């Protein structure tokens, strides 16, 4: 009687639904918006007819054994929607990682704008000829010690270079604010952590030489001057006194490199489609890799005299 009451679902309809769901699940990761739209459509459809479909399929058993229609229908009705959910979970996780990355850059930008940090925010050679020291080492190691955190980082020998064995222990120290959560290759072969963030250095930038440009000398407007940005593709160890050299690196975001994860452009990240930056006014933003190179070049300069409208980036 139950079987007589329930409507039999045409097998052709189930085949069409299975093909449509499979097509939606096979969409590439570059079109997450369409994937989410299709998933919402099929989820609504399944909520509307799913229970009836399952009961109807269950009545198609013959002699206690499932028919081919039952197995294929079950896969179409249950398997493919679950398969479709997996990329959405991955997309949600990546959105959270990108938000955390923006938060890291915001903290770096605000720290650099504090007057007490202005003298140590950039690599500088001391008068007695000691090796260069990264602004990341100067800023975050000493701030951790000054704040007297539970974990005190290893000491740093300023008389030796950053890659000397004496400074290896500090390079292996992990500072989350300097690491992008999306980095799938966090350390080098010696166990030293890469940083995702670097300063924009070079002629007419906010860091033109061996010190930060005084605020009064910034003429292009603080809201359109990039101080720091993602440079994951350069594989910079966080204690290494190296940053984004705008005079030598090609202008672009996520430019292709020789190996997976490498990029020798001015900005690079492990986020899909762009990279995060922080401006001289403390504002953070995600820049698309489709940005006009001339606009990006103007954003990297502090005294170039270019006027850049917000609508262009």
Give the burial string for 20-30 (b: 16+ CB within 10 Å, else e): bbeebbeeeee
What is the rounded average pLDDT for all residues in the chain? 75
Can you list the positions of beta strands (E) in the chain?
194-195, 197-201, 226-230, 236-237, 244-245, 274-279, 284-288
Whether the per-residue pLDDT at 252 is higher than 60: the answer is yes
pLDDT value at residue 60? 53
How far is residue 274's CA from residue 121's CA, in Å, rounded to a whole number?
26
Q: Which residues pair with 62 in a beta bridge?
A: 65
pLDDT value at residue 19? 53
pLDDT value at residue 152? 72
How far is residue 122's CA from residue 201's CA, in Å, rounded to a whole number?
10
Q: Which has the higher per-residue pLDDT, 13 or 207? A: 207
Q: Which has the higher per-residue pLDDT, 82 or 191? A: 191
Query: Are the beta carbons of 271 and 98 closer than 8 angstroms?
Result: yes
How far is residue 227's CA from residue 177's CA, in Å, rounded to a whole number?
16
Whether the per-residue pLDDT at 6 is higher than 50: the answer is no
Can you list the positions of beta strands (E) in 217-310?
226-230, 236-237, 244-245, 274-279, 284-288
How far is residue 296's CA from residue 225's CA, in Å, rounded to a whole number?
10
pLDDT value at residue 149? 54
Tens digits of residue pLDDT in 272-285:
889 999 998 889 99
Tens digits of residue pLDDT in 81-114:
655 555 555 566 777 888 899 999 999 988 887 7
**Angle (nearest 5°) at CA 108 between 302 and 219:** 15
Tens digits of residue pLDDT in 131-148:
888 889 888 776 655 555
How many other CB atoms are there within 10 angstroms of residue 263's CB atom?
27
Q: Which residues pair with 284 in a beta bridge?
A: 278
Least confident of 9-18, 31-40, 188-197: 31-40
Whether the per-residue pLDDT at 163 is higher than 70: the answer is yes
What is the residue-wise DSSP string for 186-215?
-B-TTSPBEESEEEEESTTSSB-SSSPPPG
pLDDT value at residue 95? 78
Band (150; pLDDT cuts 50, 70, 90):
low
Phi-psi region of 272 (alpha: psi -120 to 50; beta: other; left: phi over 0): beta
Question: Is the pTM here over 0.85, yes or no?
Answer: no
Q: How far is CA 260 from CA 32, 182, 200, 232, in A?
A: 22, 14, 23, 11
Q: How far is CA 298 from CA 86, 292, 313, in A?
A: 40, 10, 11
Tens digits of residue pLDDT in 48-68:
455 555 555 555 544 555 556
């Amino acid at each position: 009687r139950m079987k007589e009451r329930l409507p039999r679902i045409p097998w052709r309809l189930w085949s069409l639904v299975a093909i449509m769901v499979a097509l939606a699940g096979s969409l590439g990761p570059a079109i997450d918006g369409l994937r989410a739209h299709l998933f919402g459509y099929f989820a609504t459809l399944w909520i509307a007819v799913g229970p009836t479909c399952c009961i109807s399929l269950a009545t198609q058993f013959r002699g206690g054994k499932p028919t081919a229609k039952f197995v294929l229908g079950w896969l179409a009705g249950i398997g493919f929607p679950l398969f479709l959910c997996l990329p959405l979970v991955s997309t949600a996780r990546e959105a959270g990682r990108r938000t955390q990355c923006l938060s890291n850059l915001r903290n770096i930008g605000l720290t650099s704008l504090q007057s007490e940090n202005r003298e140590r925010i950039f690599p500088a050679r001391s008068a007695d000829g000691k090796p260069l020291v990264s602004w990341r080492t100067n800023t975050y190691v000493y701030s951790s010690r000054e704040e007297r955190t539970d974990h005190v980082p290893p000491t740093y020998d300023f008389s030796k270079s950053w890659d000397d064995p004496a400074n290896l222990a500090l390079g292996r120290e992990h500072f989350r604010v300097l690491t992008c959560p999306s980095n799938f290759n966090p350390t080098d072969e010696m166990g030293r952590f890469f940083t995702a963030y670097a300063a924009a250095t070079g002629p007419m930038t906010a860091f033109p030489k061996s010190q930060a440009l005084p605020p009064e000398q910034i003429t292009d407007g603080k809201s359109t001057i990039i101080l720091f940005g993602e440079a994951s593709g350069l594989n910079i160890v966080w204690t290494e006194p190296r940053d984004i050299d705008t005079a030598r690196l090609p202008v672009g975001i996520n430019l292709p490199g020789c190996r997976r994860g490498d990029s020798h452009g001015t900005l690079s990240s492990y986020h899909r489609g762009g990279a995060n930056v922080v401006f001289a006014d403390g504002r953070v933003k995600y820049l698309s890799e489709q940005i006009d190179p001339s606009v990006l070049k103007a954003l990297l300069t502090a005294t170039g005299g270019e006027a850049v409208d917000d609508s262009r980036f």
